[in-house]
Structure 1
Amino acid sequence: MSEKFHCRMYENELPKVDDVVMVNVRQIADMGAYVKLLEYGDREGMILLSELSRRRIRSVQKLIRVGRNEVVVVLRVDEEKGYIDLSKRRVTPEDIAKCEERFNKSKAVHSILRHVAEKHDIALKELYESIGWPLYKKFGHAYDAFKLAITDSTPVFEGMDISPEIMNELVSNIKRRMTPQPVKIRAQLDLRCTGIDGVNAIKSALTAGEAVSTESVPIKVTYLAAPFYVVTADALDKTTGFEVMELAINAIKDTLESHKWSRFKVEKEAKLVSETDDRDFAALMAQAEKENELVSGDEDEGDGVAASDDDM
């Protein structure tokens, strides 16, 4: 990559002692592992052999591999010589989780700024100096600023000297890459009620489930084939989607079990739906519809196991 479009992610040229950073392993030697600090313009650092693991080292290759990213903590920084000593064994699981989250956010910001720099033939460092680093100061992380800019960019970039061309390119990139992608969550339930009012009991349970819907997470219940029902949630945020789905399933369960002679079972746990899953489900629904049409003239057995679409 051209040096013009190469730059560290943060304003500080070097990390500080005790900082937790993301590195990529370049070479394994007798002294330890040579790495490049991915957030600091690929500056070279070293994980000493004694800092690889708390346990006795039998095989370095099992602990660290060339080409793999690792989370490490900074032990020493010699700014004059540029030496950076690092430790893998002193990193906690919490350190790893926080570092990975920060690095993924920083990487997303870096990718957007680099694209704008390349498109308009501007040095990437210039964009960091005028946009990236000021946003890190103002918002804690430039990624959080970019997220806000999806809906309203004016207050985010207020006071910054950015040309209209750069601003348009930047905002369009942010919206294209960072706008949340909708997800679909689906679960399958086995619902039965053999009481005298079984059909109405199931209808009430399904209505209770759909009533949990929110504006951002609508819940839909589809009749598959007795005694199976499919609950679907559409959401922009995966975590919120699963939370509302759980509330809907619990509402169905509680309502159904308030009736005698009822049975509730989660046939298939709630999970994210892929495009392939969606196509398979559409085919399954088409098949079920066809089979329902064939038996539509049959007498209702009256066992209260399921309610048809017409009943719901």
Structure 2
Amino acid sequence: MSLGLPDWPEVGYIVIATVLKVESYGAYVRLDEYGEKEGLLHISEISSRWVRNIRNHVRQNQKVVLQVMRTDPAKGQVDLSLRRVSRDDKRKKLEEWKKARKAETLLSQAASQLGVELLDLYESDGSKLVERYGSLYGGLEAASKNGLEALTEAGITGETAETLSEISKDKIVISQVTIQGVIQMTSLNNEGVEDIRMAFIDAGVVAEEHDATIKITTKGAPKYRIDLMADDYKTAEFAMDKIVTSIEDAWSNIEGTFSYERQ
């Protein structure tokens, strides 16, 4: 059973399941995130079209992403649907599930090093990461990126913080995206070189404020290339817009020229 989840899934939950047995009227599945609990995927919930042969849609031992339609803990019953799960729901759930499994593996490694039980470590510290970062993996990913600071922000300190930080940095590789742009800028002021240098220093500050980092290289004055790195394209594009606006605003008080081109 996955850490932090309730004993039974609620109606509307998207869950991961393994097909145990296929019958003419539906398929019995095991809810992978909820221990050994089982559910029924009725044939009417497999596809929005008529199902001629159920085995053309599900097979034994197949992993499936399903939506919970009804749950009755007293009877031990969970009714599920495949046809109500969109492709985007499936993609997001599989990604979330893989990350959750990795996070629990890393937390288990930390528990072993600290000499404590996994469940105890989750309740004392792992749950703090969930509260602060939205998920256990999100917290460990933050620890990989920002080290002890990310853990202390969640209220985790001492040997536990050091252990989680070391494991996270070793096992979670932060992938980033890079976008580029070219700025052309000139200054007729006597201190033109200093004006440009200060504008780029300010640009670095703006980048940090928007969760990005930049590298500026000259392509031969007055052209300068900006390489901007961030966790995703949405963040990167937003940060680049802010940086360009910041430089352009500063340059409005300078006697010179300014232009920007996205690469």
Q: Deviations over 1:268-312 (max 9, x none)?
A: xx8xxxxxxxxxxxxxxxxxxxxxxxxxxxxxxxxxxxxxxxxxx
In terms of Rg, which structure is larger? 1
Q: 1:191: which partner in 2?
A: none
Give the deviation of 1:59 after TM superposition: 3.9
Partners of 1:233 and 1:241 within 8 A in 2 = no
Structure 2 counterpart of 1:45, from 14, 17, 39: 39
Q: Is the 8 A contact 2:132 2:154 kept in 1?
A: no
The alpha-carbon deviation at position 58 of structure 1 amounts to 2.9
How much has 1:173 moved relative to structure 2?
1.7
Query: 2-side partners of 1:15 and 1:8: how far apart?
Result: 12
Please, what TM-score do these two structures have when normalized by structure 2?
0.62
Return the TM-score normalized by structure 1.
0.54
Q: Give the share of equivalent positions with the same residue, in percent.
A: 27
Q: 2:22 matched to 1:28?
A: yes
Distance in 1 (alpha carbons) for counterparts of 2:18 and 2:119: 22
Change beyond 3 A, Cα 1:47–1:122 = farther
State how many pairs are aligned. Answer: 223
Please tell me whether the aligned partners of residues 9 and 40 of structure 1 are also in contact (alpha carbons under 8 angstroms). no
Pick the aligned partner of 2:58 from 56, 61, 64.
64
The one-character-per-residue Cα deviations of 1:233-291 (angstroms, maximum 9, x if unpaired) are 3524241446778999xxxxx969xxxxxxx9x9xxx8xxxxxxxxxxxxxxxxxxxxx
Distance in 2, matches of 1:131 and 1:118, equals 14
Q: Is the 8 A contact 2:127 2:136 kept in 1?
A: yes
For 1:59 and 1:233, locate their aligned partners in 2 and report how far apart those are by CA, in whole Å.
54
Matched residue, 2:254: none
Q: 1:44: Cα distance to partner?
A: 2.6
The answer for the alignment partner of 1:123 in structure 2 is 117
1:114 and 1:222 map into 2 onto residues whose CA distance is 50
1:217 paired residue number: 214
Distance in 1 (CA, whole Å) between partners of 2:29 and 2:112 is 27
Unaligned runs of 5+ in 2: 186-198, 208-212, 244-257
Shift in alpha-carbon separation, 1:221–1:84, aligned structure 2, 3 A: farther
Offset from partner CA, 1:28-71 (integer Å, 9 cap, x none) = 33342232323223533231222111111134344234444322
Q: How far off is 1:15 after superposition?
A: 0.8
Deviation at 1:14, TM superposition (A): 1.4
Q: 1:241 to 1:140 in 2, by over 3 A?
A: closer
Instruction: Give distance in 2, aligned partners of 1:84 and 1:26.
Output: 14
* Matched letter for residue 155 of structure 1: E
Amino acid at match of 1:64: V
Match runs of 1:250-289 below 5 Å = none
Match of residue 298 from structure 1: none
Q: Which residue matches 2:253? A: none
Q: 1:12 aligns with which of 6, 11, 22?
A: 6
SS of equivalent residue, structure 2 residue 175: coil
